[in-house]
Chain A
Amino acid sequence: MATITTSLQGSLQGSSEKSVKAVHGRVLGVGRRYRTVVLVLTALFFLVPVVASLRYSVVGNNNSISFSSYGAIFSDPQFFSSLFTSFKIAIGTVAITVFLVTPTVVWARLRRPDLMSALESVALLPLIVPSVVVTLGILSAFASLPNIIMGSPVILALEYVVLALPYTFRSIDAGAGAIDIRTLVEASRSLGGGWIATLMRVIIPNLKSGILSAVFLSTAFVFGEFAVASLMSFSTFPVWLVQVGQDRASESVALSVVALLLTWGGLVAVSIAGLRSTRRRSAVIEDELFAFGEQL
């Protein structure tokens, strides 16, 4: 009875948010106590590993506090060389991704909007083939390719473009959906701009936020990808991290802390940037972030 009166009042006041929430809470059977218990337990589950890692990185297996494991990381030449390898791969992956996906999305939105969902499905295909299986296929199908591709991280850069597509395609597409491409292109064309000039000087600058989040997502992918790199024996950053972990546990944990914090910081930055530029489409950003869980 009380429910009915409050919700009636709510709908009289134009169905204020509050009453909707109240009804939700009551019907779903959720009280304040339930909420507190669930949220505190969840928070513990997610924060304890972070705290434990911070502690482990300075304490190690014995109980003396020292920051030597952080120092040891930086004095290891392998640290910089693996980081540099991953960095080079990331540049290749990012460049190919931006120049492959952006024109495709812009073209499809202008000329064949009906193809959009098909293209999106193509971009999701990598989720169906586990990366271990992709590696197996690369090793057997591309074995005869010249050494400059198969014998160097070039192959990783080429493959990461595809493997990161489920995340990058969405973010560039979300960026493109937030601007009026048709008008921009028509304006540029009628002012005499060629297609290349239109793409480079009109479309890409306007797609900045979508492209930037794609850049970040593919960079994070490259710096986190382990399966393909390790099975093809390339010493990228995560591969080296696992090697360190085999005999120097506290150093590997220290590195993991740094890697996690950097990734998290970047993700938060991307979602804030995305929210700011496409506030009306904030659901898209969540969508896009949610799809990024499969980089393992």
Chain B
Amino acid sequence: MAIKVLRRRKPILGAVPFVAYVGIFLGIPAGSVVLNAFRSQSGSFTLSNIHSALSGGYRQSFIQSLKLSVIATVIAAIAGLLVAVAVVGMKDGALKRAIMAASGVFANTGGVPLAFSFVATLGNFGLITKILLSGGVNIYSGGFTLYSVTGLVIVYQYFMIPLMVLVMIPPLEGLNSQWFEAAQTLGASWPTMWRSIVAPVIMPPFIAASLLLFTDAFAAYATAAALTSGTIPLVPIQIGSLIQGNVVANQGNLGAALGLGMIVIVGVVAIAYVFVSRRSNRWLR
């Protein structure tokens, strides 16, 4: 009897302020975007917002955003893994600690200052642009511009690669040397060991981290907005222009439909992330 009473009275009061705060300042705005996506300007139910968000220029912006995030993620994932492998093989020492600390710091660099520091590097008058020019190579006449999807892919590497390094070092260090010894005793070759020991252990965290990088690149607004002043039609930029009213009026709740699209894409990737990262913990106990 007593136990029953206790069970019924599990305290929840302490969590109420926190959950309510998030509910009000995140739940209500997100909920209103979702509802508005299905609402016409007069307030009645409609699918026309969704329809226009998925057609014409807006469909194109989803494709551009996905393209940017996928390319940036693939490059960062591979580069990050290569760096992590190099770091794991090192002796513990000042250099290794410095690399880890630097990864933590660079992974947190983003937004407007990052955009401007790349303007100084690869912009029209940037350092690298000038150095290459004095060597006879004009990258801007060769079709490159920093203020494009290619440019953004390069800039995003600045925080994406370190993120990948930070995530991949623990699983790589978790590779148990006894597994390799056992495999060697059994006569396994180097590719076999990669395939049957390294890959199964590092694949889940690798995929999980890549998903994380993807959402990062997909949702990013500041760097793109500062670098391109809204000229590249990425989804967040399009939503931004709709908010600022830089487009023809009477678009009603089109922005909300685009926003819903972003939530759906990020949400699906986040769910995939949760599943994959659960698997990845298995080998790292």
Residues of A within 8 A of B (CB): 3-4, 7-8, 10-11, 15, 17-21, 23-25, 27-30, 34-35, 38-39, 42, 45-46, 48-53, 55-57, 61, 100-101, 103-104, 107-108, 111-112, 115, 119, 122-123, 125-142, 158-159, 161-162, 165, 220, 224-227, 230-231, 238, 241-242, 245-246, 249, 252-253, 255-257, 259-260, 263-264, 267-268, 271, 283, 286, 289-290, 292-296
Considering the complex, give the chain B residue whose CB is closest to the CB of A29.
Answer: B190
* Residues B157 and A100 in contact, CB atoms below 8 Å apart: no
CA distance A268 to B125 in the complex (A): 31
**Contact between A53 and B120, CB atoms less than 8 A apart:** yes
Contact with A along B118-131 (1 / 0, CB 8 A): 11110101111000
CB-CB < 8 A to A24: which residues of B?
A: 88-89, 172-173, 175, 177
Determine the chain B residues whose CB is within 8 A of the CB of A11 once the complex forms.
178, 181
Asked whether B157 lies within 8 Å of A45 as measured between CB atoms, the reply is: yes
**A226 and B111 contact, CB distance less than 8 A:** yes
- Number of CB contacts from chain A to chain B under 8 A: 316
Closest to B217 in A: A296
Candidates A34, A35, A253; contact of B116 at CB < 8 Å: A253
Among A18, A107, A125, A293, find the residue whose CB has the most chain B CB atoms closer than 10 A: A293
Shortest 9 CB-CB contacts between residues of A and residues of B:
A137-B29, A107-B14, A56-B120, A52-B127, A130-B219, A226-B222, A256-B113, A289-B104, A141-B32
B11 in the interface (beta carbon within 8 A): yes
Q: How large is the interface on B (under 10, 10 to 19, 20 to 34, 35 or more residues)?
A: 35 or more
Residues of A within 8 A of B3 (CB): none
Chain A interface, >50% SS class: helix
B interface list, Cβ under 8 A from A: 10-12, 14-15, 17-19, 21-22, 25-26, 28-33, 36, 79, 82-83, 85-92, 99-102, 104-114, 116-121, 123, 125-128, 157-159, 161, 163, 166-167, 170, 172-173, 175, 177-178, 180-181, 184-185, 190, 193-194, 197-198, 215-216, 218-223, 225-226, 229, 236, 239-240, 242-244, 255-256, 259, 262-263, 266-267, 270
